[in-house]
């Protein structure tokens, strides 16, 4: 480690809240799938900022849109209108088939906004008695870090000593449609779920789960809210992961790659009456729907589609998965994934995923461990076959030498 790197890490550790424990690599530049540290070492990014940079680092067209808009107008607040919001609504509605859009900033804000809207919908449309609305969620979920959201987390690290928590949530196992049906009461307003549980270690539900979930929600008048903040926008090889299941959510949450990593932009998309219950003054955000965010998001969506990134995600994802599956290593328990949302789960005896991540960093690949034994692999969607071949070789070397 160079002294420059060491000094930056030391300052971070001394002055920053210690709520993260990053790998000791200090990055200063990114381009496409590549990242460079302050010492000039190059890495293939296999995390993509938790899928916020699906379009690749510093995509030139998104950068140009950002620069151009930043020179003209960045923020008006929603007290006034701006000329980027309407075309953003139009383009995202056309792309996703949504009827209403609520623009926010972070993913957690989109989740909170959906919870607020769907509760209000429950009281005003479904006729749930005051303060009785229930929302069903899944164990091992990840929906963000606000107090409302951690109130229904099952991760003790995320919850410990942050109470008291918000009531009104019921937790059921992921992938169990019968448990959903059993948990529903006349006061259930929504089922909030990830199409694939990302932070839990890329957990794919059993085949047929989501069609059954869709049918149950429809039959009971329960709003199906899909959190596609990580799975959406091409990550799984489709624009939205719901397409793999041939279903449509009532409310879809997107964020992360909605800006290609340039800026926090999220949105609640609704194809039901849910967002229709919000009236002036009842919800808002100073930055939500600002012209800079809208200009960036418009271009981030445009390049995703025009440059074939979604198809590339399906193609390179399937190839990458097959290459990793072909690795013979005693350390590997299971290889999972869809599109470029991949994970290698190691046997508990393998000594934890973290040391494999460290070893991969030495070989020029940045990956992140999740849930102790799982290595998540999720490069930007612009990754090429040659890069996948090279990365597979490095992963093979590490999985066979450390095992
Ligand atoms: C990242 C993520 C969030 C939270 O997004 P933030 O922008 O970090 O608030 C919510 N849900 C899922 C599935 C995520 O992956």
> Is 122 close to ligand 1, i.e. is its CB under 6 Å away?
no
Provide the CB-side half-sphere exposure for 91 (13 A, CA). 18
Output the CATH code of domain 3-58+309-402.
3.90.1150.10
Domain 60-306 listed as CATH 3.40.640.10: yes
Q: Which atom of ligand 1 is nearest to the CA of 194?
A: 13
195 lines ligand 1 (CB under 6 A): no
> How many Cβ atoms sit within 10 Å of the Cβ of residue 102?
26
- How many angstroms separate the alpha carbon of residue 326 from the centre of ligand 1? 32
Q: What is the pLDDT of residue 403?
A: 75
What number is the average pLDDT over the span 342-364? 95
What is the longest distance spanned by two Cα atoms in the chain? Answer: 64
Mean pLDDT of the chain: 97
Residue 227 near ligand 1, beta carbon < 6 Å:
yes
- What does the alpha-carbon distance between residue 76 and residue 42 come to, in Å, rounded to a whole number? 39
pTM exceeds 0.85 for this model: yes
**Measured in angstroms, how far is the CA atom of residue 3 from the centroid of ligand 1?**
34
Strand-pair partners of 36: 29, 42
The pLDDT assigned to 1 comes to 84
The answer, yes or no, to whether residue 11 has pLDDT greater than 80, is yes
From the CB of 30, is ligand 1 less than 6 Å away? no
113 lines ligand 1 (CB under 6 A): no
Give 301-335 pLDDT, tens digit per residue. 999 999 999 999 999 999 999 999 999 999 999 99
Determine which one of 88, 142, 262, 287 is catalytic: 142
pLDDT at 272 over 80: no
Which residue's CA is the closest to the ligand 1 atom numbered 11?
143
Burial of 127 (0-12, 13-18, 19+ CB in 10 A): exposed
> Is 255 touching ligand 1 by the criterion CB < 6 Å?
yes
Cβ–ligand 1 distance for 107 under 6 Å, the answer yes
For the CA of 231, the nearest atom of ligand 1: 13
Q: pLDDT class for 162, splitting at 50, 70, 90?
A: very high
What pLDDT does residue 213 have? 98
Q: What is the pLDDT of residue 291?
A: 98
- Listed in sequence order, the residues at least 6 apart from 314 whose beta carbon sits closer than 8 Å to its beta carbon are 237, 238, 339
Question: Is the CB–ligand 1 distance for residue 106 below 6 Å?
Answer: yes
Per the annotation, the verdict on 142 as an active-site residue is yes
- Model confidence band, residue 371 (pLDDT cutoffs 50, 70, 90): confident
- Among 48, 106, 108, residue to substitute to test ligand 1 (most atoms within 8 Å of Cβ): 108
Among 256, 262, 287, 369, the one annotated catalytic: 256
Taking the centre of ligand 1 as the mean of its atom positions, its distance from the CA of residue 369, in whole angstroms, is 17
* 95 Cα: distance to centroid of ligand 1 (angstroms): 21
Work out the average pLDDT over 367-378. Answer: 94
Q: Where are the domains of the chain?
A: 3-58+309-402, 60-306
Ligand 1, closest atom to CA 230?
Answer: 15
Query: Mean pLDDT, to the nearest integer, of 56-60?
Result: 98
Q: What is residue 34's predicted lDDT score, i.e. its pLDDT?
A: 98
**For the segment 213-256, what is each residue's pLDDT rounded down to a tens digit?**
999 999 999 999 999 999 999 999 999 999 999 999 999 999 99
The order of strands in the sheet holding 188-193 is 100-104, 266-270, 251-254, 223-227, 188-193, 134-138, 169-172
Q: List the beta bridge partners of residue 102.
A: 268
DSSP alpha helices (H): ranges in 189-308? Answer: 209-220, 291-306
262 is catalytic: no
State the distance from the centre of ligand 1 to the C-alpha of 396, rounded, in angstroms: 30
Confidence of residue 189 (pLDDT cuts 50, 70, 90): very high
Q: Does the active-site annotation cover 256?
A: yes
- Residue 97's pLDDT band (cuts 50, 70, 90): very high
Average pLDDT over every residue of 115-130: 98
Is residue 108 in contact with ligand 1, taking CB distance under 6 Å?
A: yes
Structure confidence by residue, pLDDT tens digits, 191-211: 999 999 999 999 999 999 999
């Amino acid at each position: 480690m160079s002294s420059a790197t060491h000094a930056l890490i030391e300052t971070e550790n001394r002055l920053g809240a210690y709520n993260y424990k990053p790998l000791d690599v200090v990055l200063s530049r990114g381009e496409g799938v590549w990242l460079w540290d302050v010492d000039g070492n190059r890495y293939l990014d296999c995390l993509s900022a938790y899928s916020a940079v699906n379009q690749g680092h510093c995509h030139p067209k998104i950068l140009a849109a950002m620069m151009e808009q930043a020179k003209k107008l960045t923020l008006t607040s929603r007290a006034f209108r701006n000329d980027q919001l309407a075309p953003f609504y139009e383009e995202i509605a056309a792309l996703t088939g949504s009827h209403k859009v609520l623009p926010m900033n972070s993913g957690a804000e989109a989740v909170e906004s959906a919870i607020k809207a769907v509760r209000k919908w429950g009281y005003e449309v479904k006729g749930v008695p005051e303060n009785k609305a229930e929302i069903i969620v899944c164990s091992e979920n990840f929906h963000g870090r606000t107090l409302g959201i951690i109130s229904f987390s099952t991760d003790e690290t995320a919850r410990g000593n942050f109470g008291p928590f918000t009531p009104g949530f019921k937790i059921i196992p992921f992938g169990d449609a019968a448990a959903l049906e059993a948990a529903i009461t006349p006061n259930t307003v929504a089922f909030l779920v990830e199409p694939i549980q990302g932070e839990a270690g890329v957990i794919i539900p059993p085949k047929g789960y989501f069609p059954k979930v869709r049918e149950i929600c429809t039959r009971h008048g329960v709003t199906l809210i899909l959190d596609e903040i990580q799975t959406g926008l091409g990550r799984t090889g489709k624009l939205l992961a719901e397409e793999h299941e041939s279903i449509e959510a009532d409310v879809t949450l997107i964020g992360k790659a909605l800006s290609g990593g340039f800026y926090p932009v999220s949105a609640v998309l609704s194809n039901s009456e849910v967002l229709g219950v919000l009236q002036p003054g009842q919800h808002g955000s100073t930055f939500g729907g600002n012209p800079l965010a809208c200009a960036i998001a418009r271009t981030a969506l445009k390049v995703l589609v025009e440059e074939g990134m979604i198809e590339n995600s399906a193609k390179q994802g399937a190839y990458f998965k097959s290459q990793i599956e072909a690795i013979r290593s005693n350390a590997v328990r299971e290889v999972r994934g869809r599109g470029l949302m991949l994970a290698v789960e190691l046997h508990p005896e393998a000594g934890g995923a973290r040391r494999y991540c460290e070893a991969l960093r030495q070989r020029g690949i940045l990956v992140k461990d999740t849930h102790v034994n799982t290595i998540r692999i999720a490069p930007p969607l612009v990754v090429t076959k040659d890069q996948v071949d090279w990365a597979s070789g490095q992963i093979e070397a590490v999985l066979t030498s450390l095992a």
